[in-house]
């Protein structure tokens, strides 16, 4: 479970860094990115190998101190995301500066406690720590109370935004709010345990295990809530990408017929001086929309020849796509490529929408595309 979670967190960090690189002035995005970076850095320190390695280099308790400082910073930047996203930007920035002062004070307190603590008293987990030692009790109590405060504040802002948001964002925010509420409750319960154990009274193991299980359940729930809208949008984008790729292929018979008859209607994409523009021009969405435009332009250029066929009585029944496809093929074979551009341009200047039934005249783009697909499929079946 730990490895997949850390891998998902690493992917999220890389993705946010990429977004921040494209928009470095976005303060809320910068806060989210720093939040994830700090969370990603603190996670290895919670593992036995990472804690042992850092303690061996920097001394006993260094891993515990670094992990908590990174957790503080993670929660601070989570609060900053909401503060920078507030309607009153100036008030949000002032509040963020005040919260930064609080972060520095809490960090200074636990650092002082860790430095002045007896050797090796901070080694180990929360359940095995000797809370009768004042330094240990102060360390865990201050850390727990600060985490509870930041998580509670983040929960209040999250559920407030969830009430005014729409799906799928609201769904993700509610999941994140539940996760934050669970983590804040676990921190509060642990703070009570610290007070009880500091007096020498034992805490039942079932309560300690129950609090740990609560943290284990709520942390992934918060991560799922934060990533749910982005994952949902990415899945939708992939579905649209596949649909455009499929439609691009389905339009090929119609596009091939029209592009061979009127090569000048094919939009050129290799003349751009920027490699980035050339790369974007080869993306599926650009190619799909470009093919629709080229098909419509080709039909406009072919319309004078369709009108000539109609006047000559060569074909009269245009009630089915198959018959329209035959008319298109006949008109494409009769047109002169050397003068097609001039004839089409002259016809377009004085044409009316009713000049040819082969040109889609739908009000909505999807209906227009469906007619083009019907013509293309008819051309494919009548080849």
Per-residue pLDDT tens over the stretch 308-321: 665 555 544 555 66
> Does position 363 have pLDDT exceeding 70, yes or no?
no
Res 242: pLDDT: 92
Residue 342 pLDDT level (bands cut at 50, 70, 90)? very low
- Indicate the domain borders of the chain: 2-242, 251-381
**Per mean pLDDT, which of 45-49, 106-110, 165-169, 211-215 is the most reliable?**
106-110
Rounded to 10 degrees, the C-alpha dihedral 312/295/340/358 comes to: 10
Mean pLDDT of 157-169: 86
Give Dmax (Cα) for the chain: 105
DSSP conformational letter for 267: P
Give residue-wise pLDDT tens across range 177-198: 999 999 999 999 999 999 998 8
Residue 152 pLDDT level (bands cut at 50, 70, 90)? very high
The structure's pTM equals 0.71
Give residue-wise pLDDT tens across range 120-147: 777 777 788 888 888 888 999 999 999 9
Res 331: pLDDT: 73
Give residue-wise pLDDT tens across range 210-241: 888 888 888 888 878 887 888 888 888 899 99
In the chain, what percentage of residues exceed pLDDT 70?
Answer: 78
352 backbone dihedrals φ, ψ, rounded to 5°: -115, 160
Give residue-wise pLDDT tens across range 89-100: 788 888 889 999
Query: Which of 319, 334, 330, 311 is closest to 379 using CA atoms?
Result: 330
Chain centre to alpha carbon of residue 280: 19
> Does position 207 have pLDDT exceeding 90, yes or no?
no
Res 147: pLDDT: 92
Res 148: pLDDT: 93
Query: Which of 311, 351, 356, 309 is closest to 329 using CA atoms?
Result: 309
Q: Rounded to an integer, what distance in angstroms lies between the CA atom of residue 54 and that of residue 61?
A: 9
């Amino acid at each position: 479970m730990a490895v997949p979670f850390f891998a998902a967190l690493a992917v999220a960090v890389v993705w946010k860094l990429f977004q921040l690189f494209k928009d470095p002035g976005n303060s809320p995005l910068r806060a989210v990115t720093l939040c994830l970076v700090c969370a990603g850095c603190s996670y290895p320190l919670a593992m036995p190998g990472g804690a042992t390695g850092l303690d061996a280099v920097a001394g006993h308790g260094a891993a515990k101190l670094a992990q908590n400082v990174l957790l503080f910073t993670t929660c601070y930047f989570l609060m900053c995301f909401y503060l920078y996203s507030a309607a009153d930007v100036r008030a949000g920035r002032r509040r963020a500066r005040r919260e930064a002062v609080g972060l520095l004070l809490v960090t200074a307190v636990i650092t002082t406690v860790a430095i002045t603590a007896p050797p090796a008293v901070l080694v180990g987990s929360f359940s095995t720590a000797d809370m009768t030692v004042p330094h240990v009790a102060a360390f865990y109590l201050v850390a727990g109370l600060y985490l509870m405060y930041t998580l509670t504040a983040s929960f209040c802002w999250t559920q407030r935004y969830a009430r005014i948001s729409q799906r799928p964002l609201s769904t993700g925010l509610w999941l994140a709010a539940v996760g934050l509420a669970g983590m804040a409750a676990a921190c509060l319960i642990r703070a009570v345990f610290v007070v009880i154990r500091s007096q020498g009274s034992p805490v039942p193991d079932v309560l300690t295990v129950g609090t740990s299980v609560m943290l284990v359940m709520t942390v992934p729930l918060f991560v799922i809530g934060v990533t749910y809208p982005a994952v949902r949008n990415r899945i939708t984008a992939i579905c649209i990408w596949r649909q455009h790729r499929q439609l691009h292929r389905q339009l090929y018979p119609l596009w091939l017929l029209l592009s061979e008859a009127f090569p000048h209607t094919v939009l050129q994409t290799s003349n751009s001086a920027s490699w980035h523009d050339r790369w974007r021009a080869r993306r599926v969405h650009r190619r799909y929309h470009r093919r629709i435009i080229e098909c419509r332009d080709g039909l406009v250029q072919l319309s004078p020849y369709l009108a000539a066929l109609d006047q000559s009585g060569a074909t009269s029944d245009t009630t089915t796509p198959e018959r329209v496809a035959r008319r298109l093929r006949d008109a494409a074979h009769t047109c002169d490529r050397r003068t097609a551009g001039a004839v089409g341009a002259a016809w377009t200047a004085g044409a009316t929408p009713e000049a040819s039934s082969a040109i889609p005249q739908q009000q909505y783009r999807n209906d227009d595309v469906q007619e083009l697909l019907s013509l293309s499929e008819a051309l494919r079946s009548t080849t």
